[in-house]
Amino acid sequence: MKTFYKIYLAVLLLPAYNLVHAQGKAAIIDTLMQRTHRLGLFNGNILVIDHGKKVYQNAIGQADTTGKVKLTSEYRFHIGSIAKEFNAVGIMMLKEQGKLSLDDKVSKYLPQLPAWANTISIKNLLQYTSGVPDVKWKTVKSDADNMDDLTKVQQLDFEPGTKYAYNNNNVFLQRRIIEKITGLSFNRFVEEKLLKPAGMSTAVVDPNENTPLMAVSYNNNNRPGSFFYPITGWTAVTLADFYKWEQALERFKLISPASTQILLTPFAPGKQCGLGGGSMQNNKLIHHQHDGISINYQALVVADPLKGRTVILMSNNKQNNVYDINNALQDILDGKAYVQPKRPVISDYQQQLATMTGEQVIVLLKDLNVRYPEKYDVSSEKGINEVGYALMNNKRLDAAIDLFRYNIELHPNSGNAYDSLGEAYYNKGDKQNALKNYKRSLQLDPTNTTAKTIIAELEK
C-alpha cells in the first residue's frame, strides 16, 4: 500500500513540478532578455515554446522612434526573407494541384521575357540557381519597373543550375508565375490561399505607415526606416500568426511532406532553399530555421518539432545577433549554462575602424576586452570575424588579413577562421597564401565545400 501511495503522490505532483520547472526557465530567459535589451542588443518581440507549451512571451522595448509607445504582442513586424516562404509554399500548392511542374521553364508563364527565360526552370527559382541578375534596388520603384528591367537583360550571370546566387529576382519571378496561373494578385493569393487556411488573422501583406499596430524599424541613431519596398508581396506578422505559420508547415496543413522536402533541399550544403533550412525524417519535419533582414527589421524562427520547441525572435532594431540570442535560449531550455550575447564592436566603432590599420584595430579590441569584457564581443571567433569582414567589405584587405591572422592566433583549431583568412588572400590576389589557408581550413573542417571548390580552382 505504501508503494501505491508513493506512486500516486508522484503522479499527482508531476504537473506541479513541470510548472515550477517551466517558471524557473521563464525567469532565467527574462533575465537574459532584459539584460540583452539594456545593452542595446534587442528591441522586439519574443516567443519561446517548449514541449508544446508556452514558456516565455514578451514584447520588449519601443514600437517607434519616439520611445513613448511600448511594444505589445499585438504588433506586426516585417520578417525579411522569411516572407519568401509564402511564394515558395504557393508554388508547391500549385504543383500539387497539377497546375505547374518544377521543370517548367519561366518562359511558359512569362513569355514577355527574353530568350534566357527558356533556360530557367521553376526549380532554379526555388533554389536560387537561375542566374538572373538581382533587383536594381537603387532605381526600381515598382513591380512594373522591375519587370521592365528584366525584359532588358541580355545575358544571365551564369548558366542556370550551375551556381547559387541568393537574390530577390528569383522571388519576384515566383510571385509573377503564381499570378499568371491563378489570375489573382500575389497579395490576394497569400491572403486567401495561405493566411486564412493557416488560421492567421492579423498578418498584413505590404503594410504601410497607416497600418495599425505596425512596429516602426529604426537604426542605432534612432532614425526610422521606410515601409516602402520596390517590389511587392512582403507579409508582416505578429508573434501569434508567426507561430501559426510554423505550425502549418510542421503539420503539413498547406503542402505535403514530399513538397516540404523539396523546399528544404538546397542546391548545395549550407545554401538556402524555399523554406530557408531544415531537415525531415520519415515524412516528419524534425528541424526548421530561417532568418530574415529587411531594412532595420530582423527575424528568426528555429523549430525542433520532436521537442515541441519553437523560438521566434522579431526585432525592429537590427543588431545581427538573433542567432546568439537563440543559442542562449536553447541552452536555457536544455538546462545548460548559457553565454550572454554581447554587442558587436562595429555597432559603436564603425567610423573609427574605417581609418585604423589592422594593428590599431587589434589594440582597440584588446583594450575593449580589458575595459568592457561584459559588453563587447572582442575575443570570440565570431566577434573578431565580424570586424575582419567589415574591413574586407570596405576593400581594406591588408587590415582584414591582420584581423583574420589574429583570430587564428586565438582560435587555432577553427576551420572557419582559416577559411576567412583564405578568402581575404584570395580577394587580394595572393593565390599561394589563399591556397595554403583554404587547405588548412579543409583539414580542420572536411565539410567545407566552399574550400574544396576554391582549392580545385587554385590548383588548376
CA distance 167 to 174: 12
What is the pLDDT at residue 247? 98
The β-bridge partners of 57 are 47
Contacts of 64 (CB under 8 A, 6+ apart): 215, 216, 218, 224
Q: Which residues, other chains included, contact 139 with Cβ-Cβ below 8 Å and sequence gap of 6+?
A: 145, 149
Biggest alpha carbon–alpha carbon distance for the chain? 85
Please give the grid coordinates belonging to residue 288.
Answer: 526548421
Q: How far apart are CA 78 and CA 298, in angstroms?
A: 8
pLDDT tens profile 274-333: 999 999 999 999 999 999 999 899 999 999 999 999 999 999 999 989 999 999 999 999
CB of 8 closer than 8 Å to CB of 41: no
**Residue 406: predicted pLDDT:** 96
CATH 3.40.710.10 residue ranges in the chain? 80-333
**Higher per-residue confidence, 410 vs 460:** 410
The band of 71, judged by pLDDT with boundaries at 50, 70 and 90, is very high
Percent of the chain with pLDDT over 70: 95
Query: 240 or 379: which carries more pLDDT confidence?
Result: 240
Superfamily of domain 343-459: Tetratricopeptide repeat domain (1.25.40.10)
Arithmetic mean of pLDDT over the chain: 93
Q: What percentage of the chain carries pLDDT values higher than 90?
A: 84
This prediction's pTM: 0.84
Residues of the chain within CATH 1.25.40.10 domain(s) are 343-459
CATH superfamily of 80-333: DD-peptidase/beta-lactamase superfamily (3.40.710.10)
pLDDT digits (tens, 9 = 90+) for 262-291: 999 999 888 999 999 999 999 999 999 999
pLDDT reported for residue 8 = 47
Q: Identify which of 122, 134, 112, 114 has the alpha carbon closest to the alpha carbon of residue 161.
A: 122
pLDDT-based confidence at residue 348 (cuts at 50, 70, 90):
confident
Separation CA 414–CA 355 (nearest Å): 28
Cα 299 to Cα 323: distance, rounded to the nearest angstrom:
10
Burial (CB count within 10 angstroms: exposed 0-12, middle 13-18, buried 19+), residue 115: exposed
